[in-house]
Amino acid sequence: MRPDTLPSLSMKILRQAFEDMMKAKAMSFLYDEKKQICKYVHSNSRGHEAIQLATAYHLQKDDWISPYYRDESLLLGMGYTPYQLMLQLLAKGEDIFSGGRSYYIHPSRKTDNTPKIIHQSSATGMQAIPTTGIAQGIQYIEHFNLQDYSTPPVVVCSFGDNSITEGEVSEAFQFAGLHQLPILFLVQDNDWGISTTAEEARAQDAYEFISGFKGIQRMRVDGTDFIKSYTAMNTAFAYVRNQRKPLLVCAKTVLIGHHTSGVRKEMYRPLEDLAKHETQDPGKKLRTYLLEAGYSENTLYDIEKSTEQSVRADFQRALEAKDPAVEDVNKYVFAPTPITEEQGEREPKNGQKILMIDAAIHAIQELMSKNPEALLYGQDVGERIGGVFRETVTLATKFGSRRVFNTPIQEAYIIGSTVGMSAVGLKPIVEIQFADYIYTGINQLITEISKSCYLSLGKFPVSTVIRVPIGAYGGGGPYHSGSIESLLASIKGIKIAYPSNAADFKGLFKAAFYDPNPVILLEHKGLYWSKVAGTQDAQTVEPAENYILPLGQATSILKASEEQITKGLSLCIITYGMGIYWAKEAAKHFTERIEIVDLRSLIPLDEAYVYSVVQKHGKCIVLTEEQLQNSFAEALSARISQACFKYLDAPVTPVGALNIPAIPLNINLEREALPNAEKLKEVIHQLFAY
C-alpha cells in the first residue's frame, strides 16, 4: 500500500506505532540478553505488535480491556512505560499491577482517566467469562441509567488463537451473542499453541468458529500490517461503541519470539517456519511504509537507537528497584468488610415464624428493593418457577426480567461473570442449582475469583453472593445430594456461610451482600421447609429488615450445666447445617451434658470461640454431613487438637458420612451412608467412657 492510498491515518500515529514497535523489539532482545537476570517466566509480543497497538490506540478512558499474556505492545500502546512493565517482569515491589505477585503482562488497573483492566490470570481463555461479565454489567448500567459515561464504553477481550478451543470461551460467546453485549473479542492467530500447530489443535480458526454463534459479527484482518489493523479496529470499535453489540476480530499474526522464556522457539520450531514468520515482521512492514512516506533511513535509525538506549536505561533502573516487603505477603487476601458486628432486631416483638425458604425470598427482596445495583441470575430462577426449590418465586415478577433472569446451563459463566459485574460496581447474586453441579464452575472460582483481590493489590475484590443448595435428604440420589464444603474451604480468597435456621440465613445473607468479597452461601435443601423430622427449629421468628449477622461468629445453641462441666462429665459438638439437628436429637439422651456450637460460617471461622468451648469441656466431636476422610471436619479436628491439646481428656473425634463416592439413591442406602442422631449417640458414649 503506497502512502498516497493510505487511509486518514496521521503521520503522528504512524511514527508513534513505529516507536512503540521498536520498544517492544528492544525489550525482547534485552530480555534474551539478560535471561539469567530475567528469571521469572515471561512472553513478548514480537510478531503481534501491529494489531496490539492498533487496538490500544482506540481505547478510551471508560473502556475496559482484558489483555492476555502476550499483549506487551498493547500495554505500551496504552501508555505504560517499559520501566513500569519491567517492574512486573522482575517482580519488584513498585510493580503497579500486582506488587511483584504476578507474571509479566498480567496487569490490573483501576484509574479514572485510563481504560480499566481487571485482574488477569494465566489460565488460557479464562478471561473470556469475567470480561463478558463486564460487558453484561455495562449493559445493565446503561439500561437502568445507573452511571453516566462520556462515551459508550467498549469492552475488549484479547486472546491467543488456541484459547478459543476452551469450553469456557464458548460460554462467553454464547452469553454475549444471546444478550447482545457491547464486547469486542480480539483473537490473535499466530498458528502456534506452544508446540502445537493449528492443524493439530482445531477444526477451524476463530473467524469460522464464531459463525456458529448467532448475533456476533466477525472480521478478518492482517494483524502484521499496522495500517490495515488500525483501519479494521477503527471499524470494529465504532461498531461496538455505537451499535452496542458483540463483534469478533480474527487477526492473523506471526510468532517471532519464544512462546515464553521457558519454552524457547528453537526447542520445537523448524527453521523454515521461523524464517517464514520473520518475513511478516510488523516492524519491518511499517518501516517500509514510513520510508515510502518520506522518512529517511537516518531518522528511523535514530528512533531505533534512542529507543534501545531508553529501554536499557529503564531496565537498569528497574533492576535497582526494591523487592516487595516480605511482611506484606498476607495483605489483600480479603478487602475489609464493613460488617463486623451483629446489628438490628433478630426477634422483633410479635414477629411471625418463617421457613428458611421464606428467609431467602425476603432477604433478596429487601436487598433488591434498596439497592438498584443488585440483580439475581442463574438456572431457572426466573419468573416461571422461581428456582427449582421455589426459593426465588415472585422475585422476577416484582423486579422484572432485567434484574431476575434465567441463564443457560453454564455454571462457569454464572460464577465467573460476577468478576466483571462486580468490577463495574454491581452486586450480583447468583445461584448454582445443586452443589453437585458446581464443579464446572470451580475453574472460575479458583483461577479468577479467589485470586482477584490478592493479585490486584486490593483493586478488584469480587463482591458477589453465590447461592448453593446443598445436602442430602429423601432420596435425592448421587447427583443431587452432595456436600462440597471441604472442596470450597480449600480455596483461599473466598468466604463460606452455612446457616442452619431462618434467622441466621437472613442475617448472613445481608452480611454476604454488603461484604466486598466473594461469599458462597451453602443452603441445606432439607432445612428449606423443615420437612425433615426434627428440623422444626429451622423455622424462626423473622428478623427485622435491618438485621445483619456478620460472618465468622459462631454461637452455642445448647449449653451444658456448670455442674456437669465442673465434674468433667460434659462434651461439646462443633457442627453446622443439618448437623445441628442430629446433635440436638442426640443431646436429649445426655441431659445438661452437651454443648452444641453452630459455626454458621466456615470461612472466616470463629476459631477463638470454638477453642474456648473445647477448653471448657475437654471432649469434642466435630460433626459434618460430608464423607469424613480428608474433610473440613477432619482438618478442623486436627486444628482443635493442636490448639487445645493440654485441655483434652479424649481425642477430638470427627463424625461424618461414610467414605463412599456418592450418596446412593435408595433411601435405606442413603440413611446408612449419612450420619444421624443414633450414630452420634454411640460416639458420645464412647467419649464419655474415657
Please, what is the end-to-end C-alpha distance for the chain in angstroms? 90
Cell of 433: 442449582
Q: State whether the Cα torsion 153-70-173-229 is positive or negative.
A: positive
Residue 64 CA to chain centroid, in angstroms? Answer: 17
Active site amino acids: 480
CA nearest neighbour of 183 among 159, 150, 147: 159
Query: Which segments within 74-178 are labelled E, that is strand?
Result: 155-160
584 φ, ψ (degrees, to nearest 5): -65, -40
632 φ, ψ (degrees, to nearest 5): -55, -40
Q: Tell me the H-state helices in 428-479.
A: 442-443, 450-455
Query: Would you call 378 helix, strand, or coil by DSSP?
Result: strand
Place of cell 415464624: 353
Q: What is the rounded CA–CA span in Å between residue 434 and residue 445?
A: 16
Q: What is the rounded CA–CA span in Å between residue 217 and residue 221?
A: 14
Q: Tell me the H-state helices in 618-666.
A: 632-643
For the chain, the C-alpha Rg in angstroms (whole number) is 29
Place of cell 466473594: 518
CA nearest neighbour of 405 among 370, 368, 436, 441: 368
Query: Would you call 272 helix, strand, or coil by DSSP?
Result: helix
DSSP 446: I
Cell of 371: 439497592
437 φ, ψ (degrees, to nearest 5): -105, 15
Cell of 294: 518520506
Q: What is the rounded CA–CA span in Å between residue 583 and residue 572?
A: 10
For residue 535, give Cα distances in angstroms to 109, 472, 578, 582: 49, 14, 8, 9
Cell of 502: 431462618
* 470 Cβ neighbours under 8 A, 6+ residues apart: 434, 435, 482, 483, 484, 485, 522, 523, 524, 525, 577
